[in-house]
């Protein structure tokens, strides 16, 4: 029926037109997919050939890239520049410690519940912060996170100011063997990171991604074309919070201790993540990966220089923002039109012969 209507507006040409072809992949993306699969296989097999130090580093990279993808989805697509995502990292972490420590819930189940819990908590938060725009929204989200942090430091069952530790029996639920446990945690983190990336990627490839990309480029125009901008942003906010909560649970499962300062740390869970996304390229799927690699590389190479390392990091951020405001990958897209994770839809044009017949 809708096709019939389409014919009405498009006119007589609809009747004789050949089926329309749309491409969703590019040559570069197909080559890259093979490469990515090889890297992934290498990472999965790491426990059998790498040491625990490597596994720790890669696990950290994995959860940081997941946090970066989520923040990019929020800020780079939905236009929700939150500096309060640490709220959900902390909530997820605390939920894990509380459920396992106080209620003796199985550690895996507790981890699975941490995500939905953070998502649930984000709903009332959204009612408050969605009334704010731009910079006010950013500050509002930060304030909310500080409120959570203060609450955590007041509640005795959460260990108040000193926080909570994971006990040995809880860890033994994962595995009594320390090495096996390390491997398990590594693989869990890798899986989670892959899961988060898959969600973000599939979402952006779907029609909802089309709406999100439109909102990113012009909110009024997307509303005038039928996109429910409020609902889209709300769903993204809640889904992002849930995934962030899950990551928070996993992060603190590896750290074994949580405190209000560590759980709700704006520096560790938001500032660093913003650095990665902005340097790598906001509003692109490739950007968070690049930014994470840049950050980790700088940190590993410059760790011995103490404060100078932070100064250098700041200078680099300023330099990139001045020279390539769209970030490293944003610059690549502008220059080479290269997409490794294509989310677009490319219309296969009819040949010039066909077109001239009209």
Could you give the 3-state DSSP secondary structure of residue 22? strand
Nearest approach, Cβ of 125 to another protein (angstroms)? 22
Nearest approach, Cβ of 334 to another protein (angstroms)? 9
Of 30 and 178, the one with the shorter C-beta distance to another protein is 30
Tokens of 288: 């968070």
Cα 1 off chain centre by: 39
DSSP assignment, residue 303? G
Q: Whole-angstrom Cα distance, residue 96 to residue 114?
A: 6
Of 33 and 221, the one with the shorter C-beta distance to another protein is 221
Element containing residue 6 per DSSP (H, E):
helix 2-10
Could you give the 3-state DSSP secondary structure of residue 26? coil
Q: Whole-angstrom Cα distance, residue 215 to residue 290?
A: 24
Instruction: Pick the closest to residue 190 from 59, 54, 57, 41 (CA basis).
Output: 59
Contacts of 216 (CB under 8 A, 6+ apart): 76, 77, 78, 79, 283
Of 25 and 315, the one with the shorter C-beta distance to another protein is 25
Left, alpha or beta for 156 (phi > 0: left; psi -120 to 50: alpha)?
A: alpha
Of 164 and 211, the one with the shorter C-beta distance to another protein is 211
Of 171 and 210, the one with the shorter C-beta distance to another protein is 210
Nearest approach, Cβ of 293 to another protein (angstroms)? 23
Nearest approach, Cβ of 287 to another protein (angstroms)? 13
Q: Whole-angstrom Cα distance, residue 117 to residue 122?
A: 9
Could you give the 3-state DSSP secondary structure of residue 315? helix
Contacts of 179 (CB under 8 A, 6+ apart): 52
Of 107 and 326, the one with the shorter C-beta distance to another protein is 326
Of 27 and 358, the one with the shorter C-beta distance to another protein is 358
Contact between residue 316 and residue 298 where contact means Cβ atoms under 8 Å apart: yes
Q: Which residues bind another protein (CB under 8 A)?
A: 2-3, 5-6, 8-11, 13-14, 17, 19-20, 22, 207, 210-211, 213-214, 216-218, 220-230, 283, 344-347, 349, 355, 358
Nearest approach, Cβ of 213 to another protein (angstroms)? 6
Of 76 and 182, the one with the shorter C-beta distance to another protein is 76
Nearest approach, Cβ of 172 to another protein (angstroms)? 50
Q: Whole-angstrom Cα distance, residue 27 to residue 17?
A: 27
Could you give the 3-state DSSP secondary structure of residue 159? coil
Nearest approach, Cβ of 292 to another protein (angstroms)? 22
Nearest approach, Cβ of 239 to another protein (angstroms)? 19
Tokens of 27: 């040559």
Stated length of the chain: 358
């Amino acid at each position: 029926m809708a096709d019939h209507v389409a014919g009405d507006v498009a006119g007589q040409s609809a009747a004789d037109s050949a089926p329309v072809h749309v491409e969703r992949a590019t040559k570069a993306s197909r080559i890259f997919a093979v490469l990515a699969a090889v890297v992934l296989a290498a990472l999965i097999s790491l426990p059998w050939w790498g040491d625990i130090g490597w596994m720790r580093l890669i696990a950290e990279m994995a959860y940081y890239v997941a946090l970066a993808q989520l923040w990019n989805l929020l800020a780079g697509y939905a236009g929700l520049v939150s500096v309060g995502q640490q709220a959900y990292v902390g909530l997820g972490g605390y939920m894990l410690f509380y459920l396992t420590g106080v209620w003796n819930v199985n550690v895996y189940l507790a981890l699975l519940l941490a995500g939905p819990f953070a998502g649930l908590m984000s709903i009332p938060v959204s009612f408050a912060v969605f009334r704010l725009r731009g910079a006010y929204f950013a500050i509002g989200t930060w304030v909310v996170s500080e409120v959570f942090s203060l609450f955590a430091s007041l509640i005795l069952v959460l260990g108040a100011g000193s926080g909570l530790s994971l006990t040995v029996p809880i860890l033994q639920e994962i595995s009594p063997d320390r090495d096996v446990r390390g491997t398990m945690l590594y693989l869990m983190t890798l899986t989670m990171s892959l899961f988060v990336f898959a969600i973000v990627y599939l979402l952006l490839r779907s029609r909802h991604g089309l709406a999100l990309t439109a909102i990113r480029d012009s909110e009024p125009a997307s509303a005038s074309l039928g996109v429910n901008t409020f609902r889209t942003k709300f769903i993204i906010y809640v889904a992002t919070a849930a995934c962030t909560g899950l990551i928070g649970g996993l992060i603190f499962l590896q750290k074994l201790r949580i405190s209000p300062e560590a759980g709700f740390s704006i520096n560790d869970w938001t500032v660093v993540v913003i650095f990665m996304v902005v340097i790598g390229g906001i509003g692109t799927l490739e950007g968070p990966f690049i930014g994470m690699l840049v950050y980790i590389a700088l940190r590993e190479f410059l760790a011995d220089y103490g404060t100078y390392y932070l100064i250098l990091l700041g200078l680099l951020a300023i330099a990139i923002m001045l020279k390539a405001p769209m970030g490293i990958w944003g610059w690549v897209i502008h220059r080479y039109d290269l997409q490794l994770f294509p989310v677009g839809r490319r219309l296969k044009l009819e040949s010039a012969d066909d077109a001239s017949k009209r």
